[in-house]
Structure 1
Amino acid sequence: MRRLLDLLPQPADEVVQLGGPYRPWLVRYGGRAAIIRASDLERLRRLGFSADLAMSSIEWLHDFLRDLSGTGFAAPAPVDDLRGTSVVSADGAIWELLTFVPGRSVDWVECAMRRAGDLLARFHDASLRTRPRPQRPGALPMSDCRPLDPRAATARTQLEAELADIRAGLSGVVHGDATQANVVLDGDDYRLVDFALGYEESLVFDIAAALWRNGRADPNSVTYDPRRVETFVRGYHDVRRLDANDDRRIVACMMARGLQLQQRLELRGGVDDTVMQRLMSIERQQSDLCEAIASAIS
């Protein structure tokens, strides 16, 4: 960290980590506040990233965030204060400097879900106004998600049956994890933060990835609350109109999000059985979830 701070144009007045390991830092220097993110190269190697691939991947993200800033959408943007750049490699990590988006965490309340859905739709409008770009280096799109856990086979089969229909819809750069945990409230304004998982994907996948967490009965639950799902999708639909068949597509993409998370878990040798428990809950609840989404977009 010291080598990174020495690259700043002014001495750091304050450096505070925002949470536990792998969480970003808030740094104040020269009258401004910014966010420092660190990606451990050894951890990335376990996910199949070489140092060069990891750097290319993060540079891709910063290029997109610069474009996104140009649309007027409020989100973290690269800060070129690390000797003229926003990304550097040092001390076994890749470091990023981004603007600080102020705000407090959004409460786990149903009424916030409609605003969160509205926010994601507005982000998609902005994302579609950015320049076309190739896929992010090292991305794991849903079409490539084939975890080894045998319990995932049914969901993978269902996803394959829906993929062509899903791909026929709009695609663009998605947030990848637009859940309540990555939304902050600044006054009455909802803001998206932490775009680390962004890549090119079908937009309905981004709705589903948000529902992976936002649609749960409570943050730690392994089952889903159709009413919360309906509320979030209704907020999205208020801004960006969804199609009649998007209920089925979104639920298929919720399964795809589970497959994606399980594959990443397997790649890094982690253990978290709640991923498969939630995936199997979506399989069991898919009729109720489709009905809730259909109600939101009818």
Structure 2
Amino acid sequence: MSENGTAPFMAALNARAREALVHWGLGAQTPQLLKHRENAVFRISLENGEPAALRLHRPGYHDEQSLASELSWTAALRQANMRVPAPIATPDGRHIVTLPATPDFDAQHVDIVSWMAGIPLGQSGVPLAHSPERLGAIFRALGGTMARMHVATDTWTPPSSFHRPVWDSDGLLGEQPLWGRFWDCAGLSPDQHQRLSALRLLLRTQLDGLSPLELDYGLIHADLVRENVLVDGDDIQLIDFDDGGYGWRMFDIATALFKNRDEPHYALIETALIGGYSAVRPLPDSALKTLPLFMCLRSLTYIGWMGERAGSPDAGRLQRYVSDALTLADAIGSTDET
């Protein structure tokens, strides 16, 4: 199959999206590709003319049970008045359709979710353009929205078939972490491999040593980066629950903060988000003290993510991620000379 971004690949991808739309009775349109990372996401139109999002899921990333669990979770959050995408069923009542393998594609799952009209908070690597006052308002609202998501999730009883990834010690630091073996990533120098391997063991000890009573644990979004946070006036919408699963709520908070660390007003951002969260859901000092640990854990996942993707990692980007991880490790006193 042609490489991503080439004209033959894009033509095949658009044809695949039209193939999927037939199952919803919506084949007579041209889908608009919005992004192609883990999933290929298209803007499409429903029969009533309203927009929606078609998701072609990356083959082999999540099975049908896990995807159905994601959709049941977001549907429950919608019932709790959270502004998140809701699943849209086919005429015969299915939320997920499996497309067969073709010469161009492996078998893959597809679904359609409702459109969210907000504007992305920002783009990773691009400075935020908002004024300090606006940043404070946005991140306070985001903190409150995250807390309400956690509250609504804890009052919901998942179906017996519910299955999602687990961002626990094994999921972050085990032999097969959810986002890849960061210490074995191609492109690391021998010294970096050694330091990240040692860091993995040290952080595992720290994480396992935390008291369960100190940390709030449950379903988390796990990928609240800027692109997945939509701003609609004074309201916040959350999208892309693809990596959502069980984990520490501080990991959700760390993820929402991580890629804002270089912002000139980062202190304001962190204070606003934590203040907004704490106004809705308790966030004791014992939990806040673990933020540097979870920031470091988040940084390691990005190294693993790069290593899991086909081809050689972008050298400059990889080195930035490694530098981030080792700097954050030093800040929490997790690294010694190795």
TM-score tier (shorter) = 0.7 to 0.9
String of CA shifts for 1:170-222, please: whole Å, max 9, x gaps.
222100011222111223211111111100112122111222223x214xx9x
Match of 1:71 in 2: 80
Select which of 224, 235, 242 maps to 1:189. 235
After TM superposition, give the deviation of residue 225 of structure 1 in Å: 4.0
Aligned CA distance change for structure 1 residues 155 and 243 (closer, same or farther; 3 Å): farther
Match of 2:275 in 1: 234
Match of 1:100 in 2: 115
Contact 2:146 2:277 in 1 (8 A): yes
Q: Are 2:252 and 1:206 equivalent residues in the alignment?
A: yes
Is the radius of gyration larger for structure 1 or structure 2?
2
Contact 1:136 1:199 in 2 (8 A): no
1:1-298 to structure 2, matched below 5 A, reads: 1-13=17-29, 15-20=31-36, 22-31=39-48, 32-41=50-59, 44=60, 49=61, 54-81=63-90, 83-90=92-99, 91=101, 92=106, 93-107=108-122, 108=128, 109=130, 110-111=135-136, 112-132=138-158, 137=163, 139-144=165-170, 145-146=172-173, 147=181, 148=183, 149-152=193-196, 153-154=198-199, 156-165=201-210, 167-168=212-213, 169-214=215-260, 216-218=261-263, 225-268=266-309, 271=313, 272-286=318-332
Q: One-letter code of the match for 1:254? A: M
Secondary structure of 2:243's partner? coil
Q: Which has the higher helix share?
A: 1
* TM-score, L = length of structure 1: 0.80
After TM superposition, give the deviation of residue 19 of structure 1 in Å: 3.5
* TM-score, L = length of structure 2: 0.71
Contact 1:12 1:27 in 2 (8 A): no
Percent of residue pairs bearing the same amino acid type: 20
Q: Please give the alpha-carbon distance, in whole angstroms, between the structure 2 residues aligned to 1:137 and 1:262.
A: 25
After TM superposition, give the deviation of residue 155 of structure 1 in Å: 5.3
Secondary structure of 1:201's partner? strand
Q: Please give the alpha-carbon distance, in whole angstroms, between the structure 1 residues aligned to 2:110 and 2:91.
A: 9
After TM superposition, give the deviation of residue 13 of structure 1 in Å: 4.5
Contact 1:39 1:95 in 2 (8 A): yes
Unpaired stretches in structure 1, ≥5 consecutive residues: 288-298
Q: Please give the alpha-carbon distance, in whole angstroms, between the structure 1 residues aligned to 2:276 and 2:238.
A: 15
Unpaired stretches in structure 2, ≥5 consecutive residues: 1-16, 123-127, 174-180, 184-192, 334-338
Q: One-letter code of the match for 2:20? A: L
